[in-house]
Amino acid sequence: MSINYVQLTGNMLQPELRQTQTGKTVMSASMVIKGYGESAEDMWVDIQAWENLAKNISDSFPTDRKTLRVMVEGTLKKDTWEDKSSGQARSKFYVNANNISVCLDYQNVGSVNYAGDGNNASTGGNYQAPAQHSSQTNPVARPLSDVAQGEAPF
């Protein structure tokens, strides 16, 4: 039994949103997946999303950025067509996305810059986690009496 499921993490370029002739909304984008090792090459993959997912990713993509680190889940599809200039049959594979999630390993959220290396880059890479008492290995809930009126208890 084979299962067609793809999960990729990489940098997605600014998406293009359009309407099909039947009125459906479709988003197309390319993403690069970085290779590792001595002979590793970057791999470019086309991504396609439909309707609400297409609108949401297009609306959520920062206008001041060229790329956004995302994780894409979906199925592998094959598109075939005839080349107009040569008449030859052409094809390509792409990912038909079921979900696209922003990865926080290299993103800015609010005033925090997630560097992906365990350090908070917004402090110039000199981030040090707050000291934790050696006897305190798990978080300890605050007593309800310490929570001020209107303050969230978490």
- Give the CATH number, domain containing residue 66: 2.40.50.140
Inform me whether the pLDDT recorded for 24 exceeds 50: yes
Q: What is the pLDDT of residue 152?
A: 56
More confident residue, 68 or 113: 68
Tens of pLDDT along 45-96?
A: 999 999 999 999 998 888 888 888 999 999 999 999 999 999 999 999 999 9
Per cent of the chain over pLDDT 70 is 68
152 in any annotated domain: no
Q: What is the pLDDT of residue 143?
A: 64
92 in any annotated domain: yes
130 in any annotated domain: no
Q: What is the pLDDT of residue 136?
A: 44
Residue 113 pLDDT level (bands cut at 50, 70, 90)? low
**What value does the mean pLDDT take over residues 93-112?**
80
- Whole-prediction pTM: 0.65
56 in any annotated domain: yes
Question: How many structural domains are present in the chain?
Answer: 1
**What value does the mean pLDDT take over residues 144-148?**
65
40 in any annotated domain: yes
Weakest-pLDDT range from 20-34, 53-67, 115-129, 130-144: 115-129
Check residue 142 and report its DSSP letter: P
- Chain centre to alpha carbon of residue 52: 16
The DSSP secondary structure of 13-69, one letter per residue, reads EPPEEEE-TTS-EEEEEEEEE---STT---EEEEEEEEHHHHHHHHHHS-TT-SEEE
131 in any annotated domain: no
The residue range of the domain holding 60 is 6-125
154 in any annotated domain: no
- Name the residue among 71, 75, 79, 29 with its Cα closest to residue 54: 29
133 in any annotated domain: no
